[in-house]
Chains A and B, each alone.
Chain A
Amino acid sequence: MLTFFPAPYEDELWYGIITRYHIRSGNTCWKYTIQELFPETKGYPRLGDTMPNTTMQIIAAQLPKNVLSLRDCALQHSLFPFRMRFQPLDKKREYLQEFLDGKNMQPKFLFTTKKNGAEMPLRFCPQCIADDGKQYGESYWHTEHQIASLPLCPKHLCRLVSMPKQNTMPIGQQLILPPEEPPDADFAATETEYSLTEALHYMYTLPYETSPNILSENLSTAVENAGFLEAGSVLRQSWDVQQLYEALVERFGSEIVVRCFGRHITKAHARRLRQHEIYSTEEYALLAVLLDIPPPAFFSGEALTLKLKEKMQKLECQGQVYTKSRAAQLLEIREDQLLPYAKRFGVRPFWVQSGKPCTDEKRQTYPVTIHLSQQERDTLDAYMAANNMDVYGHALRYFMQKTVNEWKNPTAD
């Protein structure tokens, strides 16, 4: 039974709590503290993990009941809620319960670190160190600061600093506190860093039970709005992964993108992202910033507007007839994409229909002669000029179709 254990501070990393135990024990060597806390453990326990593991269970078993809540350890002193953010709710509950039942979750979540390769150094905010010192009498490791892609401290908006490595030992084998005299805070952040910090902080601070809305197509919508859909993939909506990856690298730099996505984004990966089958919160945060998706859009039922659809609907409502090239020009798409998009969005074509190629039996030509006064002729010319119509036949077909349609469907419009 342990004779004392430091009360965890708000958002304190589990490793930090153990470090503070080491300091209070007065032990001259990290090894003795680790032996004292984990007498039965062979080798070194995984203290440097940011995910909950058996070290929490071992410590809790050595303390009186209700002193250390395993649930609090997992949800408030590790990156577990953050990493689980994009998991479905039932999975989240299942994993948490397994941990509370004493199972080791480590093997299941190896995927969370496999891209990272080398161990990330612990990070701190110089301003938080000063604030914590004043409030608690000592500084501590904040869990949120250990999100690898978080560039700034969400509270002070200054750049986070990585703890310089003092030796080659893994973090879990040494028990160190943040420096007592940190470097000066760096407030010169870019707009991208602010946005990314905001997105990550939002996802970090959501309640554990909040899961993504898997029915939401907001990510696909945002990808399409940003023009990262493959050319010709109007109906399948395949992403142009090459272009997307390049844009990510350009915006965030290759280091962070490689760490989160790897060296490229595969089509399969993109499809899984679209279907919320990828659980890396950081990937979604990067995409949110790149594609200008408000972070709540991943979790709420509110759908983002597809800009192209909105534009098409607007043009349709205007009641004007455009040439195909003009319509494509206005929508910033190719002419051959007009009809597929119109079908997908349920929009009636508002450009001149040349009609499908028909057989001779089906297609007949009816020559029509219309006598117009000079004044009527001038009015028609002015109308056609105003509506980008070049040919009288197109104008006549439009008038005819509109009148006949209104006659057929008097309730429409």
Chain B
Amino acid sequence: MRKYPPNEPVCGAIYDNASADNPFLAAMPEMLPREEFLSTIRSTPGLPHSLPQMSPEERRQSLPLLSALFVPMDYMNAVYDQLYRAIRETYSTRTAVEEIRRINVLFNGREGIPYATQAASGSVLGVPGIGKTSTIRRALETMPQVIEHTEYMGQPFYCKQVLYLRIECPSDCSVKTLALNLVAALDRAIGSDYLHQLISLRSIAASAVATQVKILCMTHHVGLLLVDEIQNAVETARRNRQIKPLLKFLVELTNDTATAVYFVGTPVAEQLFTSQEHLRRRTRGIRLLPLKPDGTYRRFLEQLWPYQLTPQQTPLTEKLANKLFDFSGGIPAYILKIFQESQAQALLQGQGRIDERIMQRAIDILAIKVPKTYSGGTYLSDFEVNDAEADEPPPAPVPAALPREPPEESPAPVPRLYANQRGRRAAARDAADLVVAFSAGGDLLQFLRERNLLEEWPESC
């Protein structure tokens, strides 16, 4: 039985046995076990009942249902785990009294005493199309966005605890725009009207908006701030060098309000994060690489494959799977796109089902270009948890709460993977070929002697 009903963005607070002076921590939703989390985020739209009777046009019209398909993978649980812990850390860091003290400090523009511990911060970077945003959105949707408090321990206590806010990094990289984005997200979450009020003040300074945003984050007890598309900041930074104020604001926000901040974006942002030591420390996190052509990929395809709206079903062959992998680079969004377009092309061509030729045509039309190298990271496949291990009942509640560390990341750039080996086929060489002997790396003289290929002078000479 879950503490809060799923897919309810606003819930009344339910308190458990957390410390008496911290209603926000007491009202936190519980962390979901892996299996429950994965089944919660799964989305498997039903195929139309009248599919066999549908015309090709109707079938093409139904193809967008593939966009609603969401296949859960183990890396998603790792992302959820990080975000959940970040939210919890925010509420552990600041007590109610400390929060009030901090609001007054901010309001009066004084220098405050730093928090005893820092709020969590980090980043989730990954190749475009890998599913970062969808994963984060679905992970966060497993908990209510807003918890409404009206009474705590018999005393009136009216406030709305915003567990998380998702905003996009403004393309102009301005602090004011980011702050206004944040206020708009807050308005959407709790039904307030701060944005209208702020934009009506034409001459308000960016610093004043920033201060108000910090205060609002404290007043509404924002647990986690997710800044998506952080690569926008890098691109703008290159143009007009405005990145520093924006990042400074976000760092200040973390320090002043103890609100966890997570950045989400493509690996382009990594160069920005590593440019300064304090930023590097605050932006560590999961770096996602595409799927490997392995079992995880095959399981992904197996869940995708039944969604064929063509009159006939094509079985999932090794050849098709490899082709799909090689042209999608193992990026789930591309896999889905090619699969969808292949069906559209098959229907357009009057074909009963997809085949290699149709798929190639779809690939050509989509003109997908997969990068040849990626900056370091962890392949989606490497997050996979051994099912046997996962099925075991947890021995005690403690392991469930412990974070599952993702496999170690490799900082060096990694080449993209192919299902079908690329390049010229290796020429067949004789066993006595010197190149073969050299490649084997043994004692070359011994090799030559054994094969009687060495001409040696007699010792008497």
Contact = CB atoms under 8 A, between A and B. Distances in A.
Contacts of B151: 66-67
Contact of A4 (B96, B104, B197, B220): B220
Contact of A23 (B98, B99, B104, B160): B104
Contacts of B220: 3-4
A3 B191 contact: yes
Contacts of A26: 106-107, 211-216, 219
Interface string A280-293: 00000000000000
A137 interface: yes
Interface string B202-231: 001000100111111011100000000000
B414 to A, nearest CB: 46
Contacts of A8: 156
A93 B150 CA distance: 29
Given A26-B107, A28-B212, A64-B158, A138 B101 contact: yes
Nearest to B157: A7
Interface residues of A, number: 28
Contacts of B104: 23, 137-138, 177, 180
Nearest to B159: A4
A36 B158 CA distance: 17
B215 A24 contact: yes
Contacts of A133: 101
B188 to A, nearest CB: 12
A407 interface: no
B116 interface: no
B150 A67 contact: yes
Contacts of B96: 137
Contacts of B420: none
Interface in B152-188: 155-160
A63 B158 contact: yes
Nearest to B158: A67
Contact of A7 (B107, B158, B160): B158
A32 interface: yes
Interface string B6-33: 0000000000000000000000000000
Contacts of B97: 135-137
Interface string A56-79: 000000011011110000000000
B204 to A, nearest CB: 7
Contacts of B160: 3-4
B426 interface: no
B103 A24 contact: yes
Nearest to A8: B156
A135 B101 CA distance: 10
B197 A32 contact: yes
B396 interface: no
Contacts of B156: 7-8, 66-69
Given A136-B97, A137-B100, A66 B190 contact: no
A25 interface: yes
Nearest to A68: B156
Contacts of B150: 64, 66-67
A397 B203 CA distance: 103
Contact of B108 (A3, A28, A66, A180): A180
Contacts of B99: 137
Nearest to A5: B158
Contacts of A7: 155-158
A329 interface: no
Interface in B93-118: 96-101, 103-104, 106-108, 110
A379 interface: no
B396 to A, nearest CB: 37
B253 to A, nearest CB: 13
A177 B155 CA distance: 23
A1 interface: yes
B322 to A, nearest CB: 54
A135 to B, nearest CB: 8
A27 interface: yes
- Central interface residue in A24, A27, A69, by most chain B CB within 10 Å: A24
Given A26-B211, A66-B151, A67-B156, A4 B204 contact: no
A137 B98 contact: yes
A27 B108 contact: no
Contacts of A23: 103-104, 107, 215
B201 interface: yes
B55 interface: no
Interface in B371-422: none
B192 interface: yes
Contacts of B101: 133, 137-138
B157 A28 contact: no
A63 B150 CA distance: 10
A7 B219 CA distance: 13
Contacts of B159: 3-5
A343 to B, nearest CB: 62
Given A36-B197, A138-B104, A27 B212 contact: yes
B158 A4 contact: yes
B110 to A, nearest CB: 8
A145 to B, nearest CB: 20
A138 B160 CA distance: 21
A28 B208 contact: yes
Contacts of B100: 136-138
- Central interface residue in A25, A32, A69, by most chain B CB within 10 Å: A25
B204 A28 contact: yes
- Central interface residue in A3, A5, A23, by most chain B CB within 10 Å: A3
Nearest to A24: B219
Given A3-B192, A137-B98, A28 B219 contact: no
Contacts of A136: 97, 100
Interface in B107-166: 107-108, 110, 150-151, 155-160
A2 to B, nearest CB: 8
Interface string A1-17: 11111011000000000
A123 B97 CA distance: 24
Contacts of B192: 3
A12 to B, nearest CB: 13
Nearest to A64: B150
B213 to A, nearest CB: 8
A131 to B, nearest CB: 13
Contacts of B193: 36
Given A136-B100, A137-B98, A27 B158 contact: no
A174 B215 CA distance: 20
Contacts of B213: 26
Nearest to B183: A26
Given A26-B212, A137-B96, 20 more contacts: A1-B191, A4-B160, A5-B159, A7-B156, A8-B156, A25-B216, A26-B107, A26-B216, A28-B212, A64-B158, A66-B150, A66-B151, A67-B156, A136-B100, A137-B97, A137-B98, A137-B99, A137-B101, A137-B104, A138-B100
13 contacts: A3-B191, A3-B192, A7-B158, A23-B104, A26-B214, A26-B215, A27-B197, A63-B158, A66-B156, A67-B158, A68-B158, A133-B101, A180-B104
Interface of A: 1-5, 7-8, 23-28, 32, 36, 63-64, 66-69, 133, 135-138, 177, 180
Interface of B: 96-101, 103-104, 106-108, 110, 150-151, 155-160, 190-193, 197, 201, 204, 208, 211-216, 218-220
4 tightest A-B contacts by CB?
Answer: A26-B215, A137-B100, A26-B212, A137-B101
